[in-house]
Structure 1
């Protein structure tokens, strides 16, 4: 299809409501974010509006901005603005959903849009249901905030699929954007290392002075990107490209291990890396690579910080039977509290935002460190069912497409393999984290889904 940026664009008159809404939202947001500093507010609003107009002309601009937001959010999570309780991550998320919605409604409903909505329909239903339950919950604002976080990546995913269905080059551009995401947070990490503003503890690293970034945050952000690099490494035919993707995969793996995030590291080691060699163990070259990778991991396990985090009693004293006694940092108490409250109203739950209110009163934390339990407590069995159908459906969809595509088209198989690794990693992370609310993880995740969904047309 020809790439005419004004193709099917509504007239200026019909776009006036979207433009006026964008002007109001970006101006108000800039004023609040910059603590009513008029000069900075005008500057911020101007930048936002320029991006908005670019997205109106070329909707795929919103997708690229969302990927940039993911990288920035992963690097500046919880960084306060102007001394007020608003983080850069929160501002970026709000900006992303407004930009994505505006870009979507700036075009007439097309076949590509309908197809993209169908592929993400259950996610939309889940988000709407969560929002509905938030209106009857004990904290409406918090419930709607979570609804916003759930809906943002879905909207970006629908927009990405729509643009990829219309223009095949967008696939490669989005993929490149995904693969470049680690540059920003890793650069922030290096800057903090240079200026000695990186602090380490038994649970990972965190920056304190220059730019805010946490080890677990970075590790979870890198999992979908690692899945894409692993898929590229497996299916790219050229030996030079294979080596480059292997090196990149090892680099991302090093960063995840260094973060000391046990959740991300276990998912990576027990799921993503073994899947890379699924049905490929009989090749001599593959065996050689396995030896190299094993040596690589052995090197990292020799570091004292890594040993203390993953093997607190020492590697030589490691006993598989003692897995159950591993310190879960108080998560079991959170899970018990959340479960006991959830079963009081098991069908429809207590309402969106209830779980946060519960654990905050009991332990002064923001979430129960288990997405399935949080959804159960907030929205009941109905919400859990929708959550499982949405994410479980993605697992089955990409697994079937991957298996069938391997016999026909390696590129299509590659994208579905990346999507399968990604959705599996995210679902596993739900067990100990509230990844559903981490848009810096879910936006790249849904963009990878879009790459796979549209690869069937290659």
Structure 2
């Protein structure tokens, strides 16, 4: 029976490299509609939840059902992340199984699966990488079009058709790709990058705007004499533009300085009152709930249960993914995640430094670095890990980068210098 099923799936081509590329491109394309699909119901679950389940089944069913071999090099590079995922699933042993916990674990499993599938694709069928990237580009433009309609109807910070924060988190990976293409010499990407950056600004998502600024600076950083001068010029222009926006763009100024104000120490400025949007209270609840469970955590989804009980279901997320990881998986889980996540970013950055002359592979490596760093910044005040449309595009870009590293390494072994 299994042999027959194996031949059927191969004859259809569902699990071949072409099928993998189509699925990865498809999920990137559908991510543009993620926040919309989350509101549409398909029986007891949302349409987006159904898409997520189908996607995860494909990611892991393809490995388990067809018993596809996994590169030893890839496994070693993903070892910290694999250990984190094992630890996260084991947390179900010491905490009750909840819907929120299972959803979180499935989404992080999708992140890991996306990395593995994209890496395998880039290693075995590099010609299909452009299909995947094409899915991201189309997804970004569709999201921009939908959000543009919302801006036309509601004005700056529109939330009706596509929530501003959700759009901005998804657009961040698109910005990473366009920035990388600009650095790779593709001139048309200048206006595309500017268009995405402008949309992020009018979304009024402060964390994403901060991440975008850091991404721009990182993209132009090169530790050489000429590179440092160029970086200083770009940094000066970026900081000056940010100050001008803050002073003269009234909606942005109000977003920072009105509402739940907290005194924050800002370098070279002193204490400034900044709108925290109630996050300070959520963080205090999370830390207080974690007391006594610092090492092992309270279990997957525990922080959502705690916050939901305090606010009678009106709020459930801590708006800080590092606090979520600490609360649910303890210091051990948090350290495993930080090591795995930032080691992936560091590998992509080092690969970019070594291969930036090779235009396309260097572009992939830089885009992966920027996307990982950008979402890491957003995680300080938002819930990226529980949004498929935010974290999976980052995982796919990271996987493409890892696959390109493997391919270059294989070439070097076959054709030594």
Q: Shorter-chain-normalised TM-score: which range?
A: 0.7 to 0.9
Give the direction of change, closer, same or farther, for the CA distance of 1:66–1:123 in structure 2 (3 Å limit).
farther
The Cα shift of 1:299 comes to 6.4
The SS at the match of 1:366 is coil
1:392 equivalent to 2:342? Answer yes
* Aligned residue number for residue 188 of structure 1: 146
The partner residue of 2:99 within 120, 141, 146 is 141
Residues 138-189 of structure 1: per-residue CA shift (max 9 Å, x gap): 4433211110011112112211211221112012222222222212222222
* Aligned residue number for residue 126 of structure 2: 168
Alpha-carbon RMSD: 3.1
The partner residue of 2:15 within 31, 34, 56 is 56
Correspondence list, 1:364-443, <5 A: 364-406=314-356, 409-443=358-392
Correspondence list, 1:115-134, <5 A: 115-134=73-92
Give the direction of change, closer, same or farther, for the CA distance of 1:296–1:431 in structure 2 (3 Å limit).
closer
Q: Conserved in 1, the CA contact under 8 Å of 2:102 and 2:300? A: yes
Residues 371-401 of structure 1: per-residue CA shift (max 9 Å, x gap): 1111111111111111111112113222322
The SS at the match of 2:285 is helix
* Aligned residue number for residue 321 of structure 1: 270
Q: Conserved in 2, the CA contact under 8 Å of 1:55 and 1:61? A: no
Q: Conserved in 2, the CA contact under 8 Å of 1:146 and 1:437? A: yes
1:252 equivalent to 2:202? Answer no
The SS at the match of 1:322 is strand
The partner residue of 2:249 within 303, 319, 322 is 303
The partner residue of 1:262 within 206, 227, 237 is 206
Q: Conserved in 2, the CA contact under 8 Å of 1:342 and 1:377? A: yes
The Cα shift of 1:300 comes to 8.4
* Structure 1 residue ranges without an equivalent (≥5): 1-9, 20-51
The partner residue of 1:275 within 206, 218, 228 is 218
Distance 1:347 1:168 in 2: 42
The SS at the match of 1:205 is coil
1:93 equivalent to 2:85? Answer no
* Structure 2 residue ranges without an equivalent (≥5): 260-265, 409-417
Residues 69-105 of structure 1: per-residue CA shift (max 9 Å, x gap): 32221x51531316x6633322221121112223334
The Cα shift of 1:15 comes to 6.4
Give the TM-score normalised by structure 1: 0.76
1:68 equivalent to 2:29? Answer yes
* Aligned residue number for residue 263 of structure 2: none
* Aligned residue number for residue 170 of structure 2: 221
Give the TM-score normalised by structure 2: 0.83
Distance 1:65 1:135 in 2: 35
Distance 1:97 1:117 in 2: 19
Residues 209-262 of structure 1: per-residue CA shift (max 9 Å, x gap): xxx4200001111112111111110122xxxx32x1111111110111111001
Distance 2:96 2:316 in 1: 15
The partner residue of 1:357 within 305, 309, 315 is 305
Q: Conserved in 1, the CA contact under 8 Å of 2:211 and 2:375? A: no
* Aligned residue number for residue 448 of structure 1: 397
The SS at the match of 1:206 is coil
Distance 2:208 2:241 in 1: 20
Q: Conserved in 2, the CA contact under 8 Å of 1:228 and 1:418? A: yes
| Count of aligned positions | 391
Distance 2:379 2:211 in 1: 11
Distance 2:242 2:288 in 1: 44
Distance 1:266 1:190 in 2: 21
The SS at the match of 2:162 is coil
* Aligned residue number for residue 331 of structure 1: 279
Distance 1:231 1:109 in 2: 32
* Aligned residue number for residue 415 of structure 2: none
Q: Which has the higher contact order (CA 8 A, sep 6+)?
A: 2
